[in-house]
Amino acid sequence: MKKTNLIILITVLIGGAAYFGYLTQIGTPAEAAITLTAPSELPNFTLNNINGKATSIHAAAGDKPTLFIYYNSTCHLCQEELGEISKRIEEFEDYNIILTTVQPMEEMIDFANGLGIKDKNNVHFLLDSEMKVASYYQVRSVPSIYVYDGKKQLVAEYVGITKIELLLEKLGAD
């Protein structure tokens, strides 16, 4: 009887550990885009940049493939994702990166300074103080990541941590 209970307990523990391992894998770096629900064209809202200057999203994107990320600096997933991008920022030099948040300007500036990419020409921090962009995209979770080609057409969208290689692949698909 004790042996049977021990076998059942070990089986349950191994099964639970395997299931937990599976859940942690599906909750980490995205492997494939979910069904595209974001706007098929990059919207052209005008928001204040990190210097307080009104900047249109289209002007920031220019005619280059663009990585548009909606984030919150207090979100650990956003910190991790944007930290990885900042470490590999040279690989994004042919693309524009637009980082948008609803947080107060001071918090956006502090976060941008911490990332060390604030002064890169291809990186644009924009403040969505009225939540127009968040409402338009129906952002429910951050980081929300959208990849647009040079013609401002949606290529892929992701929620949560996404592998840098996948983002670079989708940006280069133009």
* Total domains present in the chain: 2
Amino acid identity of 29?
A: P
In this predicted structure, the answer to whether residue 13 has a pLDDT above a threshold of 90 is: no
The domain in which residue 154 lies consists of 32-171
The answer to whether the peptide bond before residue 143 is cis (omega within 30 degrees of 0) is yes
> Looking at the structure, do residues 138 and 52 belong to the same domain, yes or no?
yes
pLDDT digits (tens, 9 = 90+) for 142-174: 999 999 999 999 999 999 999 999 999 999 985
Total-model pTM: 0.80
> Looking at the structure, do residues 123 and 48 belong to the same domain, yes or no?
yes
pLDDT digits (tens, 9 = 90+) for 41-89: 999 999 999 999 999 999 999 999 999 999 999 999 999 999 999 999 9
> Looking at the structure, do residues 15 and 66 belong to the same domain, yes or no?
no
Q: Can you name the residues that pair with 9 across neighbouring β-strands? A: none
> Looking at the structure, do residues 46 and 76 belong to the same domain, yes or no?
yes
Tell me how far apart the alpha carbons of residues 55 and 46 are, in angstroms, rounded to a whole number: 5
